[in-house]
Amino acid sequence: MTGEVWRYPDVERAVGSGSKAVRVRCGECGGKVGRIGSDVLTDLFGVPETDIESGRCLSEAEQRTVTVDLI
Protein backbone atom coordinates (compact mmCIF):
# COMPACT_ATOMS: atom_id res chain seq x y z
CA MET A 1 0.00 0.00 0.00
CA THR A 2 1.36 3.37 -0.85
CA GLY A 3 -0.49 5.45 1.67
CA GLU A 4 -2.76 6.79 -1.06
CA VAL A 5 -6.31 6.41 0.26
CA TRP A 6 -9.54 7.63 -1.31
CA ARG A 7 -12.51 8.14 0.99
CA TYR A 8 -15.01 8.15 -1.86
CA PRO A 9 -13.53 5.58 -4.22
CA ASP A 10 -14.50 5.20 -7.85
CA VAL A 11 -15.93 1.69 -7.41
CA GLU A 12 -15.45 0.84 -11.07
CA ARG A 13 -11.71 1.33 -10.70
CA ALA A 14 -11.29 -0.63 -7.45
CA VAL A 15 -11.33 -4.34 -6.69
CA GLY A 16 -14.03 -4.84 -4.09
CA SER A 17 -16.17 -2.28 -2.34
CA GLY A 18 -16.02 -0.18 0.79
CA SER A 19 -16.04 3.40 1.93
CA LYS A 20 -12.35 3.76 1.08
CA ALA A 21 -9.93 2.43 -1.51
CA VAL A 22 -6.14 2.12 -1.37
CA ARG A 23 -3.63 2.08 -4.18
CA VAL A 24 -1.34 -0.94 -4.27
CA ARG A 25 2.00 -1.20 -6.03
CA CYS A 26 4.39 -3.97 -6.92
CA GLY A 27 6.78 -4.49 -4.02
CA GLU A 28 9.69 -5.19 -6.35
CA CYS A 29 9.41 -2.68 -9.21
CA GLY A 30 7.09 -0.08 -7.67
CA GLY A 31 4.78 -0.16 -10.69
CA LYS A 32 1.19 0.72 -10.01
CA VAL A 33 -1.05 -2.33 -9.82
CA GLY A 34 -4.48 -0.96 -8.93
CA ARG A 35 -6.88 -0.08 -6.17
CA ILE A 36 -8.44 -2.31 -3.51
CA GLY A 37 -11.65 -1.48 -1.63
CA SER A 38 -11.52 -1.26 2.14
CA ASP A 39 -14.02 -4.13 2.50
CA VAL A 40 -11.47 -6.49 0.93
CA LEU A 41 -8.80 -5.35 3.37
CA THR A 42 -11.05 -5.72 6.41
CA ASP A 43 -12.75 -8.98 5.42
CA LEU A 44 -9.81 -10.89 3.93
CA PHE A 45 -6.82 -9.45 5.77
CA GLY A 46 -8.32 -8.29 9.07
CA VAL A 47 -7.23 -4.66 8.67
CA PRO A 48 -9.52 -2.47 10.80
CA GLU A 49 -11.25 0.31 8.82
CA THR A 50 -9.79 2.86 11.25
CA ASP A 51 -6.25 1.76 10.27
CA ILE A 52 -6.81 2.57 6.59
CA GLU A 53 -5.51 6.15 6.51
CA SER A 54 -3.30 8.14 4.16
CA GLY A 55 0.37 8.34 5.04
CA ARG A 56 0.23 5.76 7.84
CA CYS A 57 3.55 3.93 8.16
CA LEU A 58 3.35 0.26 9.08
CA SER A 59 5.87 -1.55 11.22
CA GLU A 60 7.35 -4.71 9.74
CA ALA A 61 5.03 -6.81 11.91
CA GLU A 62 1.99 -5.05 10.41
CA GLN A 63 3.10 -5.35 6.77
CA ARG A 64 1.39 -7.94 4.59
CA THR A 65 2.36 -9.55 1.32
CA VAL A 66 -0.35 -9.97 -1.29
CA THR A 67 0.24 -12.04 -4.43
CA VAL A 68 -1.88 -11.15 -7.45
CA ASP A 69 -1.94 -12.83 -10.86
CA LEU A 70 -2.40 -10.19 -13.51
CA ILE A 71 -4.37 -11.18 -16.58
Q: What is the mean pLDDT of the chain?
A: 78
Q: Is the pLDDT of residue 1 over 60?
A: no
pLDDT tens profile 26-52:
777 877 778 888 898 899 888 888 888
What is the spatial distance between Cα 13 and Cα 46, in angstroms, rounded to a whole number?
Answer: 22
23 with 32: CB under 8 angstroms? yes
- pTM to 2 decimal places: 0.67
Those residues whose C-beta lies under 8 Å from the C-beta of residue 21, and which sit 6 or more positions away, are 5, 6, 9, 10, 13, 14, 35, 36, 37, 38
